[in-house]
Structure 1
């Protein structure tokens, strides 16, 4: 594991420090993360030399820097002005599709001591809630951190721009399709576990994603040989049809907010004229199953052999399932297919799905290396 240039983020979790401590190796870590690491491994994540719990010392200097950064966000009420507080980097957008553009960005007047950032512009959207709610909701270690909303005086009022942390490895979809070798099941299970952690947290806070797919999971670190060195984070939650966080404007006909991802949707979403109440945790669980299938299949399009979306709808409503990928073990396939029950009440909730994974991980021969998810602290419901 390499140390980060970003001095205010933990090299284990890649999240901003809350309780930083200096270890025997001279590096600073989040207390809960390094304590769990030492209990399991007894060595430094960076130097691999022996370390002891009793030698952890609070890093008040880093804590003060992080507190100053967090206070600066609060003092601005999580609202920023383009070309005053942040700016787009010169060059083409990192990503662009209908209704959504991602730009590489920089802090102003300096990037020193601050995390790398991007600007996510969503056309046809307005914020329904205080931006602080979205910021607080994104503090989970497996949810892409949002620092606030950026206002552009030269832009029209029918779009919203979010200031978010940068994912160096791109999306999970890009990782799956661009690598020559497929990821091992051990690494995939670690990725799924992190996504499920994030989704359980969103569900606890009453937020439905609505567009869960590999393209909306960002990869911050990937080591193909060691699941302990994998960090992924969920993005674009709440930026989907019938979002409770955002509302559509009346001037844009087709955006990320009003397109249903048919090939990832639960049958109840495809069965009738959809209302906001039809998108639930259980419909996200169904999409989670498709995401896992997609990851096992190296980014393949679900139902790729079926050209017509109407036929896909017919099959899903009929209870048909995607075929079992060859690299998916039967134990995990049994768990995955539970997410595709035709009746929502027969699918597990995300916290139950998490328990199913942990049980299987414990029972499997690779449990010692994939159970490292437990180093993360427990996260409770935020105040909205």
Structure 2
């Protein structure tokens, strides 16, 4: 593991510091993360020297930096302004029908702030979707959102919402697996799966159903093909999220983003009737998580890749067919 250029985040968990401590190796970590690391490994994740939990001391300087940043955010009332607080690139580096992601940077005299991107969400439910990112941002395996951004010079946003999010230097899990010459060790994959599952559990505990679990929805913040503990992934992309407090699924002749079903990842009960809100549950999420794991074992291969039409996939799944075990997947998993 290498040191992070972001002084606001723990180099183990890649989460904003809450209780930063200095270890015997001279580096700063989140207390809970380094204590757990020492119990399991005994050595520094950066220098490999022996560490002791008894010799962890509060880093008051980093605490002040984090507190200053948090106070700045609160004073802004979580409303930032484009070209005053941040600057974005002219063109997005990722774009879909409803989302665009731009490279961005803080326009502040502080080199210690997190690397960021600007997420633009379009559509009638854009602000409701954005609220998922903002309200659920504190989990260590959910991408952090710093909040909304105003574009004072753009009067044509038509309901679009701008958000500042932390930057995932390794891209998505889909991209990582596509680019790797060989599949990571199975223990590495399982560690990534566990982190995604933790995020899904957190969403479910907040009555949120993600609805679009796939490798493209998991961003990679640290990747080590050999050591499972050196991998950090975070869940994002709540575009199809369902929650009783924020969304209600209403049949309509006009298709919106909420009506779109990721057919090749969806549970049979959803494919039978996607208009029923009670079909979207943590049980359907478990099904999608299973497909995500199959996709990862298959190095980002599209599920049911040999079946051309989604209509045929729906028929197969609702009749009880399942994806075959990948050759890379050991029997216990």
Per the TM alignment, residue 328 of structure 1 is displaced from its structure 2 partner at its CA by: 0.5
Q: CA RMSD in A?
A: 2.0
Q: Secondary structure of the residue that 2:208 maps to in structure 1?
A: coil
Per the TM alignment, residue 129 of structure 1 is displaced from its structure 2 partner at its CA by: 8.6
The one-character-per-residue Cα deviations of 1:196-232 (angstroms, maximum 9, x if unpaired) are 0111111111111011100000011101011111000
Aligned length: 325
Distance 1:315 1:159 in 2: 37
The one-character-per-residue Cα deviations of 1:1-25 (angstroms, maximum 9, x if unpaired) are 1110111111111111000001111
Aligned to 1:235: 236
Per the TM alignment, residue 161 of structure 1 is displaced from its structure 2 partner at its CA by: 1.6
Aligned to 1:279: 280
Q: Secondary structure of the residue that 1:299 maps to in structure 2?
A: coil
Aligned to 1:361: none
Aligned to 1:38: 38
The one-character-per-residue Cα deviations of 1:282-329 (angstroms, maximum 9, x if unpaired) are 111111000000000000011111111111001111111001101111
- Pick closer, same or farther for the CA change 1:177–1:273 going to 2, 3 Å: closer
8 Å Cα contact 1:20/1:62 also seen in 2: yes
Do structure 1's residue 269 and structure 2's residue 270 form an aligned pair? yes
Q: Which has the higher contact order (CA 8 A, sep 6+)?
A: 1
What TM-score, normalized by structure 1, do the two folds share? 0.80
8 Å Cα contact 2:209/2:241 also seen in 1: no
Distance 1:256 1:223 in 2: 35
Per the TM alignment, residue 109 of structure 1 is displaced from its structure 2 partner at its CA by: 2.8
8 Å Cα contact 1:98/1:256 also seen in 2: no
Per the TM alignment, residue 247 of structure 1 is displaced from its structure 2 partner at its CA by: 8.8
The one-character-per-residue Cα deviations of 1:100-158 (angstroms, maximum 9, x if unpaired) are 11101111234521100111111103324995x74341111111001101122304232
The one-character-per-residue Cα deviations of 1:249-268 (angstroms, maximum 9, x if unpaired) are xxxx7665442111111111
- Pick closer, same or farther for the CA change 1:130–1:211 going to 2, 3 Å: closer
Aligned to 2:194: 193
Aligned to 2:290: 289
What TM-score, normalized by structure 2, do the two folds share? 0.92
Do structure 1's residue 156 and structure 2's residue 164 form an aligned pair? no
Point out where structure 1 has 5 or more consecutive residues left out of the alignment.
333-384
Distance 2:210 2:323 in 1: 22
Aligned to 2:58: 58
8 Å Cα contact 2:184/2:226 also seen in 1: no
8 Å Cα contact 2:209/2:285 also seen in 1: yes
Q: Secondary structure of the residue that 2:322 maps to in structure 1?
A: coil
Do structure 1's residue 10 and structure 2's residue 10 form an aligned pair? yes
Distance 1:97 1:255 in 2: 14
Distance 1:245 1:150 in 2: 21
Q: Secondary structure of the residue that 2:332 maps to in structure 1?
A: helix
Q: After the TM superposition, which residues 66-81 of structure 1 pair with which residues of structure 2 at under 5 Å, given as runs?
A: 66-81=66-81
